[in-house]
Chains A and B, each alone.
Chain A
Amino acid sequence: MSHLPVADFATDFDHTDPAWVNDPYPIYEDLRERCPVAHSDRYGGAWLPVRHEDVAAIANDHEHFTSRTVVVNEGRPGPDAPPAPIGVAPPITSDPPFHQLARRLLLPAFSPKAVGELEGFTRQLCNQLLDGLGDTDRLDAAVDYAQHIPVGVIAKMLGFPPEDGDLFREFVHIILEGVDLPFPERVASFEPLGEYFEAQVLDHQAHPRDDLTSFLLDVEINGQHLEMRHVFGTMVLILAAGIDTTWSAIGASIWHLARIEADRKRLVAEPELMATAIEEFLRAYAPVTMARLVKEDFEFQGQPMRKDDWVLLSFPAANRDPAVFERADEVVIDREVNRHAAFGLGVHRCVGSNLARMELRVALECFLERYPEFCVTDESAVTWSRGQVRGPRTLPLKVG
């Protein structure tokens, strides 16, 4: 939006550049052969490793890299920003050892058992969305379907009013896509989010109930309730990490099936392939790129990293590395061996991975059941999000 076009991604990469937004995979492939750790002066200095091995090494290296902020933008955490170890959105912005405490308290809410209890609700939500489309042969699978599913599920988990969905998506859009705004504007754009959470917290304090917000207000670490900034930060995390990501995964999977007729027909005829197909969509179209900040000057793979440089942690690039995956650039829906890193690697493995997988499976099952036939009629009408979460934001289809 505000940035100059990229001339060479090896020396000047920008994850908001239209070429990257439209199709990042050839860029990763090119860089993997040439670099394999690209650099950019943009965002105050940033690095991009594209090999699985390097991504895994950085994800597991808490000595040289901090998770203090994980969304690359024009600013840096200032002296007044919440310091490590908690960070602005614990536990994703926390470093060990505090990270483990903040994470552990969230894990039971996202365990396979807890997620299983949400499956009926999710299926009902998907079918309601499909019912609402009526008898049509045209729909937008991103706008009319995918985007509403994680919003509905997350609102239910947090105990927020379901009709606030548009508001959540606007918050998440600011956090994840407004990354090239001048820093003061970016900070100011967060204010309505803070006000909204405050109102929700007050309401939950007055009327405690069985949801994640009341849980966060009630739970203790070492005999102490969580600091209010911890509660707010975790809410920010759950909204930001729980909505665009899954929306993107559902949308990208439907996009694939709308373009590759053989895969769609096969999945309709052999629904037992759903488990491997989902893992393959997650591998090939992994929605999330994480980030770290370099703690102190040091050399990584011969590159002079400086304190406070960003490192984009590209799980999508790692998932296309031919050193780890056979036919890495092909989508193989019955791929049996698939050690992908779509949900990250190391201690920050996505807390919501069980939830995301359930939502993706149910969303695809309901969609394929309703529409066994669908296709993209106009490729140029498909648009993708910008920044560190990638998925279709408009996906017009012809159905039936």
Chain B
Amino acid sequence: MRVTIDDSRCQGHGRCFSIAPELFESDELGNGVVIGGGTVGPYQEHHAGLAVANCPERAVSIEEA
């Protein structure tokens, strides 16, 4: 599975990179960016799910690879 961010929805609340800094980071404006290809490792699924569930704009999602 991999995480994605819909840039048209992201408003820079910063929840994803606070909760899952191994999967997301901030750009210079504070918007969320997926690190690398967004592949979720075996021990990262919980954090990935929380990043999805905590985004106020529903901009983060998980795709099954």
Interface on A for B, CB 8 Å cutoff?
A: 104, 107-108, 110-113, 275, 279, 336-341, 343, 345-347, 349, 353-354, 357
**Cα(A353)–Cα(B14), bound, Å:** 9
Q: A337 with B13: in contact, given A108-B28, A111-B29 (CB under 8 Å)?
A: no
Please determine whether B14 and A341 come into contact, CB atoms closer than 8 angstroms: no
Residue of A nearest to B53 (CB): A337
State the interface size on chain B (CB cutoff 8 A).
Answer: 18
Q: A354 with B14: in contact, given A337-B53, A339-B55, A345-B56 (CB under 8 Å)?
A: yes
Residue of A nearest to B55 (CB): A339
**Cα(A345)–Cα(B28), bound, Å:** 20
Please determine whether B29 and A345 come into contact, CB atoms closer than 8 angstroms: no
The DSSP consensus for interface residues of chain A is helix
The smallest C-beta distance from A143 to any residue of chain B, in angstroms, reads 31
Chain B positions within 8 Å of A336 at CB level:
50, 53
Residue of B nearest to A275 (CB): B18
Q: A112 with B56: in contact, given A104-B29, A107-B12, A336-B50 (CB under 8 Å)?
A: no
* Contact among A112, A340, A341 for B30, CB-based, below 8 A: A112
**Cα(A112)–Cα(B26), bound, Å:** 7
Please determine whether B56 and A113 come into contact, CB atoms closer than 8 angstroms: no
Q: For B12, B18, B54, which residue has the most chain A Cβ atoms within 10 angstroms?
A: B12
Residue of B nearest to A343 (CB): B13
Please determine whether A110 and B54 come into contact, CB atoms closer than 8 angstroms: no
**Cα(A314)–Cα(B6), bound, Å:** 26
24 contacting pairs across A/B (C-beta < 8 A): A104-B29, A107-B12, A107-B29, A107-B30, A108-B28, A111-B26, A111-B28, A112-B14, A112-B17, A113-B26, A275-B19, A336-B50, A337-B50, A337-B53, A337-B54, A338-B54, A339-B53, A339-B54, A339-B58, A340-B56, A345-B56, A346-B57, A349-B11, A353-B13
Chain A positions within 8 Å of B19 at CB level:
275
14 extra interface residue pairs, beta carbon distance < 8 Å, beyond A275-B18, A279-B54, A354-B14: A104-B29, A107-B28, A108-B28, A110-B30, A111-B30, A112-B17, A113-B26, A336-B50, A339-B55, A340-B56, A343-B56, A345-B57, A353-B13, A357-B14
